[in-house]
Amino acid sequence: MTALLNEIWAILGVALLLLTTLEVSLTSYYERADKTERQSAAKAAANSGVYANPELAEEYFKELTDAKARVWASYTQSQQTDYAGKFINVHEGTRRTWHSEAIKDDKRTRLKIFFFGGSTLWGLGSRDDFTIPSLVAKMLAENGISADVTNYAVIGDVTTQSLIRLVLELRKRNVPDLVVFYGGSVEAFSACYEGEPGVPLGNSNLEKISPKKEAKARISIRLENFALIRLLTGKTQLAGCSKKLDVLSDGALDVYLGNVRFIEAISRSLSFRTLFYLEPQLSDKTHRTKYEEDQLLKSEKRLPGKNDLYSLMRSKLVKREDESLEQNVFHDLRTIFADVANPIYMDGGHYGEDGNDRISRKIAADILALHAPPK
C-alpha cells in the first residue's frame, strides 16, 4: 500500500512539474505574442495615413507604451504616472500643456482654464503640444487671450472621477475661470464593460495598480488568468452589452447628468464657467478609410454594443428635458468628422493630431464667445 501511494505521489509530482513548466512556457509565449501584436497595431496606426511622418509616429508609439501607465491615487482610484520623454511628459499626474513664452503679462490677468476627460483629451495618439488643451491654448493666444491651460485628463476617466479631480483642486483653492469637460464615450464604455453604469472603467482591474500592501490583500486566483486556460479556450471574448442597451444607456445618462448638475452648482457658487462636450465616435464619420473601417469592426468585436450604447445615450440626452440644467449646456460633436474624407482615427476610439485640431477650433471658438478680448 505504501509503495502504491509513493508511486501515485511520484506521478502527481511529475504531472505538476510538467503542468508548471507548460504554464511558465505558455505565459512567456503569450507575453511575446501579445507584445508583437501591440507592436504590429502601433506600426499599422503609424502608417494609417493619420500621421504625416510614419517613422516619427512609430517612435511616438514606442514611448506611449510606457507613458500611458497609471498608478493608484486616493479618491479617484488612478492617475497618470510621471513620465519624461521626447513626445510625452507628465508631472504630478498632469500632462504638459503648451504655454506661450511670448506672453509676458501679469499671470493674475491670465484666463485660467481646466480641462477634464479621458484618453482622447489626455492625448492618446498625440504629442504634448498637439493635444486638444494645447491646441486650444495656442488658438486663444493667436486671438489675443493669455490662457493658463491645465490638462487634468486621465486615461479611462469617467465624469465622476473628473468631478472628484475638480473638487480636489478647488479644495486647494485652485479656482479656474473656466472648466471644460470633454468625453461621454467612456461612460458608455464603462457601463458596457462592467455591466452596470456609474463605476470606473475596468473597476476590477484598477486593483492591480493599488499599493503593494493593498494588492496583496486582494490577490485572487482566476482560471482565466492561466495561460493553459487561454490555450484551451482561446482569447476571452467579452460578452458586451447588446442585449441591455436601453437599461444601461438610461443608467449611464442618469449618472452623467447627475454629475453635470453637481458641476453646474459648484460653478455657480464659485463663479466660474463650464463647457461640456460629447465627443464624436468613429461610427459618426461617414467617409471612413479602409483602415478606419477595420478599426471600427475590431472595436465592435472587442466589446459588442459599446458604440450603439454611446449613440443611444446621446440621442436620449438630446430628447430628454431636464429643467435643472440651463439650455445649450451640452455641445454634441458627433458631426464634426462626418464629412471628412481624410484619415482621422488612429484606432477605434482615438484620433490623431488633425482630429484634435478640428475639435480644438470648435472649443476655442466657444471660449472666445465667452471671453472675447477687449478691442
Looking at residue 10, its pLDDT comes to 77
Distance between CA atoms of 262 and 317, rounded to whole angstroms?
A: 17
Measured from the Cβ of residue 257, the count of other Cβ atoms closer than 10 Å reads 18
Distance between CA atoms of 217 and 80, rounded to whole angstroms?
A: 23
Same domain, 37 and 91: no
Distances (CA, A) of 154 to 42, 50, 193: 21, 23, 18
Query: For 44-82, what is each residue's pLDDT tens digit?
Result: 999 999 999 999 999 999 999 889 888 888 888 889 999
Alpha helices in the chain (DSSP H): 2-46, 54-67, 119-122, 132-142, 159-171, 185-194, 212-217, 227-233, 245-270, 290-302, 306-319, 353-370
Same domain, 136 and 41: no
Same domain, 260 and 294: yes
Same domain, 13 and 72: no
Residue 215 pLDDT greater than 50, yes or no: no
For position 259, which CATH number holds? 3.40.50.1110
Same domain, 133 and 261: yes
Same domain, 35 and 156: no
Distance between CA atoms of 310 and 189, rounded to whole angstroms?
A: 8
Task: Tell whether 93 is covered by a domain.
Answer: yes
Domain with 354, as residue range(s), is 54-226+238-370
Same domain, 100 and 41: no
Task: Tell whether 42 is covered by a domain.
Answer: yes
Out of 135-144, 293-302, 314-323, pick the least confident. 314-323
Task: Tell whether 153 is covered by a domain.
Answer: yes
Same domain, 6 and 149: no
Cα 88 from chain centre: 16
Task: Tell whether 19 is covered by a domain.
Answer: yes
Sole residue written with cell 456609474: 198
Please tell me whether the overall predicted TM-score, pTM, comes out greater than 0.85 for this model: yes
C-alpha cell belonging to residue 171: 479644495
Same domain, 180 and 280: yes
Task: Tell whether 232 is covered by a domain.
Answer: no
Same domain, 65 and 117: yes
Same domain, 21 and 157: no
Number of H helices, E strands in the chain: 12, 10
